[in-house]
Amino acid sequence: GNSVTQMEGPVTLSEEAFLTINCTYTATGYPSLFWYVQYPGEGLQLLLKATKADDKGSNKGFEATYRKETTSFHLEKGSVQVSDSAVYFCALSEGYNFNKFYFGSGTKLNVKP
Amino acid sequence: AAGVIQSPRHLIKEKRETATLKCYPIPRHDTVYWYQQGPGQDPQFLISFYEKMQSDKGSIPDRFSAQQFSDYHSELNMSSLELGDSALYFCASSPNAGNTEAFFGQGTRLTVV
């Protein structure tokens, strides 16, 4: 079946620190991979995506590369800001229903000034 | 720009009561998805609709039903509510044009007491 495993949080960093949130997946076919961000009291917002192996998704300084050989899609950012504090969800979708997501458990990021 | 509108934003119901959640997709979006996010949990896919027909079904209890109307808005009906139904219910919409992004609403927070 399909599943996503991501590192547990919370992750606490100082401003300008380097961020990595690990995400690995299990899928029966050829999934598309996503990172969603959820700010307090808000809905989920798409941060970035990659639809095939070796693709790199990037947005707002965040990057993630679709690694089929390691079934991973780790999220990275070189220099985090306080405004990046949120919960980050790794997700996959597969097949004809592109927006039917299997989410990871979410990683809460706290960035301190 | 218009976003996905969900109503109500907050709802408190007693056990065994019925609740109806509404979702108004972005104009010209013909596909709607419902997700349930329990406290501290990852969002779980419930059901999706395309052109007023159910397109996929996930872990939706038999006590729940949903439909999409001619104006593309969708309603999630929940009967015989249980304490475990307390969650944030998200709706997302997308145009059904290949691998296009889904946009999430801010969610309805249902509390069953």
Residues A49-65, mean pLDDT to the nearest whole number? 95
* A111: confidence class by pLDDT, cuts 50, 70, 90: very high
Residue with structure tokens 């959820």? A38
As a whole number, the mean pLDDT across chain A is 93
State the DSSP code for B84.
G
Q: Would you call A102 an interface residue with chain B, using a CB distance cutoff of 8 Å?
A: yes
Distance of CA B13 to the CA centre of its chain: 17
- Measured CA distances, A50 to A63, A67, B60, B75 (Å): 10, 10, 28, 31
The helix or strand, by DSSP H or E, that contains position B66, with its residue range, turns out to be strand B64-68
Q: Are the beta carbons of A43 and B107 separated by less than 8 Å?
A: yes
DSSP of A42-76:
--EEEEEEE-STT-EEEETTEEEE-BTTTTB--EE
- Rg of chain B taking only CA atoms, in angstroms: 13
Distance (Å, rounded) from C-alpha A112 to C-alpha B14? Answer: 40
| Low-confidence residues of chain B: pLDDT under 50 | none
Q: Are the beta carbons of A42 and B106 separated by less than 8 Å?
A: yes
Q: Are the beta carbons of B107 and A104 separated by less than 8 Å?
A: no
Q: By percentage, how much of chain A surpasses pLDDT 70? A: 98
Residues A98-111, mean pLDDT to the nearest whole number? 91
B 11-30 → A contacts, CB under 8 A: none
pLDDT at position A9 is 86
Residues A68-84, mean pLDDT to the nearest whole number? 97
- Measured CA distances, B92 to A88, A97, A104, B85 (Å): 17, 13, 18, 19
Nearest CB neighbour to B104, from listed A43, A97, A98 = A43
pLDDT at position B61 is 93
Q: Are the beta carbons of B48 and A97 separated by less than 8 Å?
A: yes
Distance (Å, rounded) from C-alpha A56 to C-alpha B58? Answer: 29
